[in-house]
Every structure is written in C-alpha cells, then in structure tokens.
Amino acid sequence: MPLDLYFDAVSPPCRAVMLTCRALDLDVNMKHLDLRKGETKTPEFIAINPQHTLPTLVDGDLKIWESRAICTYLVSQYGKNDSLYPKDPTARVKVDRLLYFEMGTLYKRYAEVVYPVMRGETKEIVPAKLDALYEAMGWLEGYLAGHKWAAGDNITVADFVLVSSVQAFEVNKINLSKFKNIAQWLSNCKLQLKGYDDVCNQVMAMIKKLLEESYSNITLWKD
C-alpha cells in the first residue's frame, strides 16, 4: 500500500520529507492540508496526530510526525542502501548532529526572527535575534568547509533538511553572499537533488510573495 503523507509545501519540514521521498522513488499518496486555513485542526486529523502538525506520515498502522524522524525512518525502512542515512555510527552521528543543529539552532533562530513579524506580533526585527541567526549561519558555513555535501562527500538526509530551511533564508533576502560555502552547497542542491524543481521552485515563488506582503518594509540583509 502507498504511504500517506499529510503536508503543506509552504512548511520547510514538509519539503524535507518530500525531497526524501523523491530520492527514494517512493509511491506516496500526497494529502495536502492548508496550514493557514487551520485544516490540521479537524477531529479527523487530530485522531491521526494529536499535535496536529505537518508533515505527518501514515505507513500502515504506523503514524509518525516530526519531519527529521520521518526522513530517517523512510531511508531506514525503504532505502536500497544506507547512503542517505549511514548505519556506521561514526558516519551517522555526523548526519544526526546536523539534523539536531538545524532543528534546535538554525531553524529555531530563523523562526524567532521571522514568525513574530509574520503573525503580526511585532512590526520590527529584533537586532539581537537577527545577529544570532547570522551567527548560526556562520557555524553552518564552517560545517560545510572541505566537502560538497552537508555531512561529507555524499548526499544524506541532512542535505534535504538543511536546504529546506536555507532556501527560505534566501527568499527572505538573508545575505548568503557572506557565506561562500553555503552558497556553493545551495547551488549544488538546486542542481543535483532529485525532484528539487518540482518540490521547491513553485512554492518558493509563492512564499516570496507571502513574505513581501507580510513585511515588505523589513529587511534581513546584513553586510
């Protein structure tokens, strides 16, 4: 039976799972729910995922949310090999470290800058929080030094997760030119990740429009 993936592509975590599915050539029944319309808060969906978050994967009797857990599960369960999520502990921990970094530091700091403005809670960017985001970008710049992909010389789920955040930074006009390694890695992702155009390009254009409508007079650019 095909997998059921509940998603909204405006969400970076959803795009990470979608890229993982493309890399694995999985037969997936895509079930779109509109986050902005509150479609994850219906009784039917809460019965599947009481946290009513996206993405949510249903694989038979198994129901999973939290995007990074979904990505690693899919590779472990359906991958033809372990290249996307290595079994070797030394190689795997490099991937895991980046997944936790993206969740707990990089994307968290981005959310603390952008989401209060998007929700109308404030009309100004907090400079200290923007500085913290650029600090995290600097750490990622260092992590990418010396190899083509996030965790080494091969594509892993860390690339799918990180690129889904960094492409949002690009749309928000964060100054990626300050970070040569990130810029080159992002270019590699756009050109070489399977299904990148289908998963990302159209929705990123829509997100750009939404962001311009939300805070057209605010800039995240730093020289």
Q: Which of 11, 67, 164, 165 is catalytic?
A: 11
214 a catalytic residue: no
For residues 184-204, one letter each, b for 16 or more C-beta atoms within 10 angstroms of the residue's C-beta and e for the rest, the string is ebbebbeeebeebeebbeebb
**Three-state SS for 69?**
helix
- ω into residue 55 within 30 of 0, thus cis? yes
Contact 20, 95 (CB under 8 A): no
- Residue type for position 148: K
For residues 146-180, one letter each, b for 16 or more C-beta atoms within 10 angstroms of the residue's C-beta and e for the rest, the string is eeebbbeeebbbbbbbbbbbbbbbbbbebeeeebe
Taking residue 77's Cβ as centre, other Cβ atoms within 10 Å add up to 12
Active site residues: 11
